[in-house]
Amino acid sequence: DPRWQRRWSISAACLILAACANAPSKKSPPQATTAPAMIEVPIVDSLRPPVVEVPFAPPPELPIAAVAVSTSPWDRLRIRLAMPGCEYSPAVQRWAHTYTQGPERFAATLKRALPFLMLVLDELERQDLPGEFALLPYLESHYEPINSRGDTPAGMWQMIPDTARSVGLSVNNEYDGRLDAWASSTAAVSLLKRYQDEFNDWRLVDMAFNAGEYRVKKLLRNGAGELDRDALARLSLSPITHEHLAKLLALGCIIHDPSRFGVTLPEPDSSDRLVRIPLEAPIDIRMAARLAEVPEDLLKRYNAGHRQSRMAKNAPLYLLLPEAAAPRFRERYEKLPASSWSTWQSVRLRQSRGVAELAEQAAVSIDMVSAANGVANNRSFAAGSSVFLPAAIGEMLGDTTVAAVRPSASSTETERDSATQQSIVVKSGDNLWTLAKRHHVSVAELKRWNQLSDGGALKPGQRLRLEPDH
């Protein structure tokens, strides 16, 4: 049947098309291609992800007896570090290597700083603050009581006068509390404690110390939340302030692992521990050095707050002394009324004198004269020798025995200049008595050396000799 054949042809064609649709397609064989060359991208330190997470950084939690674990100041400091390690940032690592380029030189600066550093560490332990703050004065000044003029920073904490006065330190011509190691450290640590209580993050405390408390407050807007490292780095403070934190972290990193930098940390000896000795009255620092048998320049460094050799009456009455020298000083100090210790000075003998004779005529004990001059009780001084004695001894020994060689550091510049000359020029208001007292000679000497009569008056501009005409 033609119709049947046509239907069969159509059905067969549909079956063939369906089979073709369901059959898997044949893929073309892969074409050979050349892989692109790999490009080496250098890793920039500033873009490298942090090795460790740096979270919120409060002070470390310490056991009550932690400070008694070791007598080494470095062990005591390490257990108080809030963030040990160098991995905070590349800047920290860079500064750690910069500080330790000369390991022996770095250790030597730490050795010199130890007496003051241990004072600061004592105060940090008392206030329960992180150990990093013991390194702040090293960062600021290498623990040197740096002097200054005007409104510039001074002392090992590098405080400006306004900041110093705001924390209770006196700053005047005779005494500068910023140079006083004990007073400035007590005040500075109390300031850091206040910042810590306010910001609750010791890194912000460091930034406030460097940039100012109110600057940090303004940026934080109502106080600090939890700041990770990146958020802290974005605070709009000067690069100097951010670098200040990096330097402090670098110092902590070195103390935490000194062997990493080839550094051997110096341990203190008996002369490095300072103690504070209360005084009943001002004392001449030169006299104190003789009583304690401590080098004069060293004792002046330990008590740099006193800008003159003689303590001012309104200055704090205490001395910082090496612990080993304190008993010796106390024993000698108590043998004489304290009010007399500030009246001793150097005089030049015109005749030979023994210690016993000088002590008798000065109405002080032989031990005091020998201790003040670092000699034995049986010592004799030749004519022309400079001897440290009570100021009144010039009058007590008569007019031919003792003359001044050097006034105290509290004298005016004019007095210091004239004391080194053989003559002086009379000024308005001067008389024989005031000139004799000022230059530590007697009235009789001035009259004889200058051929003055009893009734003769001095005239401004008149020149007077201060020693005989040989």
Question: What pLDDT does residue 298 have?
Answer: 93
Residue type, 360: E
Query: Side chain identity at 89, as an amino acid letter?
Result: S
pLDDT digits (tens, 9 = 90+) for 333-363: 887 666 666 677 778 888 888 888 888 877 7
236, pLDDT greater than 60: yes
Q: Are 452 and 446 in contact (CB under 8 A)?
A: yes
| pLDDT digit string, tens, across residues 130-154 | 999 999 999 999 999 998 888 889 9
Cα–Cα dist 385/308, whole Å: 24
pLDDT at position 357: 86
pLDDT of residue 4: 43
pLDDT computed for residue 339 by the predictor: 61
**How confident is the model at residue 2, as a pLDDT?**
47
The pLDDT of residue 344: 77
226, pLDDT greater than 90: no
Q: Which of the two residues, 213 and 405, has the higher pLDDT score?
A: 213
* pTM strictly above 0.75: no
CA–CA separation, 330 vs 278, rounded Å?
10
Higher-pLDDT residue of 88 and 119 is 119
Q: Which residues of 21-55 are buried (b: 16+ CB within 10 A; e: fewer)?
A: eeeeeeeeeeeeeeeeeeeeeeeeeeeeeeeeebe
Binned at pLDDT 50, 70 and 90, residue 190 comes out as very high
d(CA 271, CA 118): 12
The Cα 174–Cα 429 span in angstroms is 26
65: amino acid identity, one letter: A
Angstrom distance (rounded) from CA 174 to CA 273: 26
Asked if pLDDT for residue 434 goes beyond 50, the answer is yes
Tell me if 435 sits within 8 A of 375, measured CB to CB.
no
pLDDT score at 396: 52
Query: Each residue of 355-387: pLDDT tens digit?
Result: 888 888 777 778 788 878 878 888 888 888 888
> 56-72 burial, b for 16+ CB within 10 Å, e for fewer?
ebebbeeeeeebeeeee
Is residue 99 a contact partner of residue 250, using CB atoms and an 8 Å limit? Answer: yes
Q: Which of 350, 309, 310 is nearest to 441 (CA)?
A: 350
346-378 exposure pattern, b = at least 16 Cβ within 10 A, e = fewer? bbbbbeebebeebbebbebebebbbbbbeeeee
Per residue in 158-189, pLDDT tens?
A: 999 999 999 999 999 899 999 999 999 999 99
Query: Pick the residue with more confidence: 429 or 401?
Result: 429
Q: What is the pLDDT of residues 246-260, one digit of tens each?
A: 999 999 999 999 999
CA angle centred on 156, ends 313 and 254, rounded to 5°: 150
Phi, psi angles (nearest 5°) of residue 393? -65, -25
For residues 280 and 121, the model is more confident at 121
Average model confidence (pLDDT) for the chain?
77
Angstrom distance (rounded) from CA 303 to CA 176? 10
Q: What's the N-to-C CA distance of the chain in angstroms?
A: 169
